[in-house]
Amino acid sequence: MTYHPRGALPITLDPVLRAVGFALWQTQDTENALVHHLVLVHEFPAGGAIAEVEAAFEEASKQPLGRLLSRLRVHDHASQALVSRLGPFLGDRNWLVHRSRLTNRADLYHVDRTEAFLARLTAIADAALGLSKAIQASTETHLETRGVSKAYIDAKAEEIRRAWVEA
């Protein structure tokens, strides 16, 4: 283990902060996908008023992943595959958001521990992306069973993407 005396960091903070930020953003995307999944698949009947659905999105988007996961678990027809993946991810998300700096700040003074820290952050970001894709696929499949066409779903996704890019 390489130690850097007098408090000098072995690396600049830039790669660490980028990795933390990216993992956090990926985690937020997962939470957002789960909000939409809960509302569209489990909590709102087909044919509901747009204003009511948007209000449900707004309310659910204020909740953290743990509460969203609890809401998903109460549905008998909830995807057990999603629940089983979200459970372990919740621990990683909570570590990232609440404890990563406190529990791993000393890692920045040791090259090998910094690399392990960065690897954990990358694994969290990758897991979040995989979960987001799985949640979105499950939501799309459900919507298609309700008669929403794949073309319509894709057009709405493109509309959202364009709004983000042009904002």
pLDDT, tens digit, 9 for 90 and up, residues 31-67 = 999 999 999 888 876 666 788 888 888 999 999 999 9
Question: Does residue 113 sit within a domain?
Answer: yes
Question: Does residue 59 sit within a domain?
Answer: yes
Question: Does residue 1 sit within a domain?
Answer: no
Question: Does residue 123 sit within a domain?
Answer: yes
Range of the domain at 112: 11-166
How confident is residue 6, by pLDDT bands cut at 50, 70 and 90? low
Number of domains in the chain: 1
What is the rounded distance in angstroms from the CA atom of residue 51 to the CA atom of residue 92?
A: 34
Return the exposure string of 155-165: e unless at least 16 CB atoms fall within 10 Å of the residue's CB, then b: eeeeeeeeeee
Alpha-carbon distances, residue 128 vs 7, 34, 98, 164 (angstroms):
33, 11, 17, 20
Question: Does residue 130 sit within a domain?
Answer: yes
Question: Does residue 4 sit within a domain?
Answer: no
Question: Does residue 6 sit within a domain?
Answer: no
Give pTM, 2 decimals.
0.85
Would the pLDDT of 79 be above 80?
no
